[in-house]
Chains A and B, each alone.
Chain A
Amino acid sequence: MKILIPGLTMTIPLTVIAFSIAMVIAVITALIQYANVPILKQLARFYIWVIRGTPLLVQLYVVFFGLPSIGFRVAAFPSAVAVFAVNEGAYCAETMRAAIESVPAGQLEAGFCVGMNYPQIMMRIVLPQAFRTAFPPLFNSLIGMVKDTSLAANITVAEMFFATQRIAGRTYQFMALYLELAFIYLMFSTVLTRVQAYGEKRLNSYGGNKS
């Protein structure tokens, strides 16, 4: 119980908030690349290059320990939210970009032919189809992120792993506690996997991705 509570009050909110922000970043970054917006596109590529090319743990350290040393102090939880959002955003941006590119050009052209403009077609035709394609890989990212939040313990966020370490330090029941912790992560993942399966079934029931 002492482990589960920080799971509910820290791990889950951290995941939900950071992943939501990550999705916004991902969609915007993917659209900028798809629409070939000059300058912004180069920025997007740069962002993805840097984030994917450096370890998550290092990114956490840069923000939480690095920034205060040059005068920007950010509390642990918001630091973790920011790093996870920016990190996950870069990976999901690539997923979204691939999904958007997989929507046939004919969908866009058909939209133009009925008089719709580019933003209307993106919002109503292309993005909904891209989300359907991207749904499984995005969900995999989400499940991965739940587990990655344990890294936030390194910057003193009192999530599950952090709490377990504290208790283990007092009681020395390492095996029992870490197994319990692993089990709780497993339960979180299991629930999400179920949700994913249900979501995929719902999406397929209205037409799937057959052309």
Chain B
Amino acid sequence: MSVLEIRNLHKGFGSLVVLDGVDLSVEKGDVVTILGPSGSGKTTLLRCINFLETADSGTMIFDETSYDLARMTRADKSRIRMRTGFVFQNYNLFRNKTALQNVTEGLIVARKMEKKKADEIGMRMLAKVGMAERADYYPSQLSGGQQQRVAIARALASDPEIIYFDEPTSALDPELISEVLAVMRNLAEEGMTMIVVTHEMGFAKNVSSKSIFMEGGKIVEQGPSKEFFTNPRMERTREFLRMEEDRETASSLNAGKNS
């Protein structure tokens, strides 16, 4: 049964077409990675399906209900958001809240949960991402990797059907990337449904179940990750994967030089 289905999603900014008819179907337990060059519309896609941008047209099927993405009511947005999680590239933790408060804020304010119960869930989620000892720290007192793990705990708190990640490791120093990837890998193993925009080829290849290559606002190729990486059908996909490989080799050589 699919958790989320997107049909014929279109989005432009002014005369610039950014999403040009995207179709997407995510099954329960799927980990879908979205790859693609800069400007291909990956972020915009995630933002449209979490209503941070309003799509020009498109249909969303979530929980067996169909929604017109161009005409979402405020109540529908809020209801669906309470059942999804979003992890930003630059974390976006609430700066005036501690790690624990970041995780519980949505539970207490949006879901009207009792504080005691929310704290209990919050601590459990922080423990899950290895941040329980830092529950009372403010974001400015945490490293990027730690902030991103708290952000993942925040996304997990509402027991979501699906979590969207927009380049969750791109803002991190190289040595902090692995701690965040490890958390995401654990989630994948527990069967969490996720859509992950990333440049981490290792994660895409080894952790995700399905990979998508986007370019120019269109999905160029998609398939089970194993096939996608060993035997990409489209020439453009092959070219992109080669380029990403070169980039990773170059950066690991650089890292070697610096150490």
Contact = CB atoms under 8 A, between A and B. Distances in A.
Interface of A: 104, 106-107, 109-117, 120, 124-125, 128-129, 132, 206-211
A190 B35 CA distance: 60
B57 to A, nearest CB: 21
Given A110-B92, A113-B81, A211 B154 contact: no
Contacts, number: 78
Contact of A115 (B93, B94, B96, B158): B158
Given A113-B86, A207-B141, 8 more contacts: A113-B84, A113-B85, A114-B81, A116-B109, A124-B109, A125-B97, A129-B95, A208-B140
B78 interface: yes
Task: Indicate the size class of the contact surface on chain B.
Answer: 20 to 34
Contact of A107 (B78, B92, B106, B154): B92
Contacts of A128: 96
B138 A106 contact: no
Contact of A114 (B110, B139, B141): B110
Given A106-B88, A207-B141, A210-B140, A112 B94 contact: no
A128 B110 CA distance: 18
A117 B79 CA distance: 11
Given A115-B82, A116-B109, A107 B94 contact: yes
B247 interface: no
B105 A109 contact: no
B50 A211 contact: no
A109 B79 CA distance: 15
A142 B81 CA distance: 42
